[in-house]
Amino acid sequence: MSDEVRLIDVKEDIQADNARVAEQVRERMTAGKTFLLNLMSAPGSGKTRTILRTIEELRGGLRFGVMEADIDSKVDAELIAAHGISAVQLRTGGFCHLDASMVTQGLDALDLGSLDVVIIENVGNLVCPAEFDTGAVRNVMILSVPEGDDKPLKYPLMFSVSDVLLINKIDYLGLSDFDVAAARERARRLNPRIEIFEISAKTGEGVDAWAAWLGSQVRGFLDG
């Protein structure tokens, strides 16, 4: 018997399979004319409140659904539904991210024919969600002021795969040493094409500019 230990890199196979499913998701959403947005961030950064503020800005012209992902609980989905927005909760049972197969299950639970936009609120985590393609048209991440401006240095992949960086909780800037210019420079060093918006989901400051950008992206997709 050989004493050689075989090392099998399963991640490559998992990622290859996920890429195939993600492409199927994109084809499905393109055919059905529904824009899929993947929102990622650390826990407590304000994802749910940002979603609600964004929908409030755009709800008059676009129809929204939300896919909430958490390791457990239905709290966020219930909050979204209480605002009259179609919502489905994905309980990952320990997984720290969503992959394209999980997203497919969530999409199957929504009436996509009545929706222009589906927002995925991914599991709160700055590592795993960045590694998995969900099939979304755009990836957006939130960095909140209390987290610190050094996160692009610590979690570079998240900033590299995101189309948009929302610097949230700017109402806390006066109570923090967060350096907005440094955060912007560090993010753009990783991803020169990233769009950056400074917002407060609590007060609404800056949300209009971010929502206007998103609305233009969605309408371009729907008209394409």
User: Using CA atoms, how far apart are residues 108 and 202, in angstroms rounded to an integer?
Assistant: 32
Residue 1 lies in a domain: no
Residue 17 lies in a domain: yes
Number of independent structural domains in the chain: 1
| Coil/strand/helix, residue 27 | helix
Range of the domain at 99: 10-215
- What's the CATH code of the domain at 143? 3.40.50.300
pTM: 0.91
User: Using CA atoms, how far apart are residues 108 and 178, in angstroms rounded to an integer?
Assistant: 41
Residue 52 lies in a domain: yes
Residue 5 lies in a domain: no
Which pLDDT does position 3 carry in this prediction? 56
Identify the residue whose tokens are 């007060």. 203
Which pLDDT does position 70 carry in this prediction? 78
Residue 37 lies in a domain: yes
Residue 192 lies in a domain: yes
Residue 220 lies in a domain: no
Residue 145 lies in a domain: yes
User: Using CA atoms, how far apart are residues 112 and 27, in angstroms rounded to an integer?
Assistant: 14
Low-confidence ranges of the chain (pLDDT < 70): 1-14, 71-72, 94
